[in-house]
Structures are given as C-alpha cells and as structure tokens.
Amino acid sequence: MNETPALTKNQSLVMSVLSEAKSPLSAYQILDELRPEGLRAPLQVYRALDKLTEHKLVHRIESLNAFVACSHAAEHGGEMVAFAICEACGRVEEFCDPVLQSRLAAWSHEHDFIPTRTTLEIKGRCAACH
C-alpha cells in the first residue's frame, strides 16, 4: 500500500490552514492565509493541494471550487467519499456509504464503464441550520 510520505514545507502550511478551517476554502483564500508565511503565488498553493489530494489528506469540492481537509482519521481504502454541504453555514460533512458505492459499481459494471473517480455532493441545510 502507499505510505503517506512526510509533508514538505508548503504542503504542511496548506494542510494546517485547511485543518483549522470550519468550511471549505478556495485556493486563493488559502493563499491569503499564508501570505504572512511568505507564500506569494497561487501556484505554490495549487501544487501543495495537488499532492495533498493525491494522498487523500484533502478533498476537492467540485461544486464549490474549494478544498477541505479529509475528516477520516486515517486511511482511505479505494472508497468513494461523499459530501453533504450546508448552504447556510458552509460546513461540510464527509461520509462513506457502502450501499451507494456498490450501487454505483453495479451501474458501472452493467454499462461496461470503468470508473476512476466519483464526485458526490449534496447541497442543502444541515441539522443546525433549520
């Protein structure tokens, strides 16, 4: 299995900002947080995000063009991850569901489709916001 290698300086900086955030941040928001640390260009953030996403320490929320720290304490398998996004408070809940996963696998198999990545994002209102 793939070990998670030690993070580089920029990766650590980006990771720490995301870990403390209460909701997803855009790359440019992360950059702003890290200007005091000396980061200047978007690419520095995007490169770190690429690696962190590869290691699954960070997930990209496609419908927001933003990023969140993974909330699964440790290792993902090859599992699909889903997100519930509150439109009121901005918080995101990450979850896995074996039924969803197997149903999608079944669809793919039936249609001779080889999946590489699944995006599943539900927007709405969380328990705290209604």
Binding residues for Zn(2+): 86, 89, 126, 129
Place of tokens 């690419």: 43
CA-based nearest residue to 16, from 1, 2, 40, 36: 36
From the list 4-12, 16-24, 37-45, 85-93, the region that binds a copy of itself by CB under 8 A is 85-93
Cβ distance 48 to 14 under 8 Å? Answer: yes
In the complex with DNA, which residue's Cβ is closer, 1 or 41? 41
Decide if residue 107 touches DNA (CB under 7 A): no
- Nearest approach, Cβ of residue 43 and DNA (Å): 4
Buried b (16+ CB within 10 A) or exposed e, 3-21: eeeebeebbebbbebbeeb
Decide if residue 100 touches a copy of itself (CB under 8 A): yes
Instruction: Summarize as ranges the residues that interact with a copy of itself (CB under 8 A).
Output: 62-63, 84, 86-87, 93, 95, 97, 99-100, 103-104, 107-108, 111-127, 130
